[in-house]
Amino acid sequence: MNSPSKPSLIIQVSWEPPDGFHKLNFDGCFKGNPGLAGVAGLIRDSLGRWVMGFRMNLEYATSPIAELKALRQGLIAAKECGINNLIMELYAKLVLSWVGGIPPM
């Protein structure tokens, strides 16, 4: 006999960039590793409003190279828009370790 379960506690968590900062979200995608790849990203202001987006096709890349190209394109786009205070969000652990100078586990 199963006992009734207690309702799960749901905690809503949110984060906002500090005033005057912009946030760069980017990612790489690929078909095969290595293989055909592409990159895309967007920049939002501290209120979450879309500022600009970018995308680029790559003929042939590994997943870390696609992620690095996406980061590079995002930084170039931010510079072209005159954005100096930038927070970057990425999920590729290897690239994050390279950017942060932390050895990968």
Query: Can you list the domains of the chain with their CATH numbers?
Result: 22-100 (3.30.420.10)
At 4-61, the pLDDT tens digits run: 677 788 888 877 778 889 999 998 888 888 888 999 999 999 998 999 999 999 888 8
- Cβ atoms of residues 40 and 54 within 8 Å: yes
- Greatest Cα pair distance in the chain: 64
The model's pTM is 0.74
pLDDT score recorded for residue 103? 57
Strands 50-61 and 86-89, bridge-based pairing: unpaired
Residues 6+ apart with CB under 8 A from 4: none
First-to-last C-alpha distance (Å) of the chain:
44
Is 4 buried (19+), middle (13-18) or exposed (0-12) by CB count in 10 A? exposed
Q: Is the peptide bond before 4 cis (omega within 30 degrees of 0)?
A: no
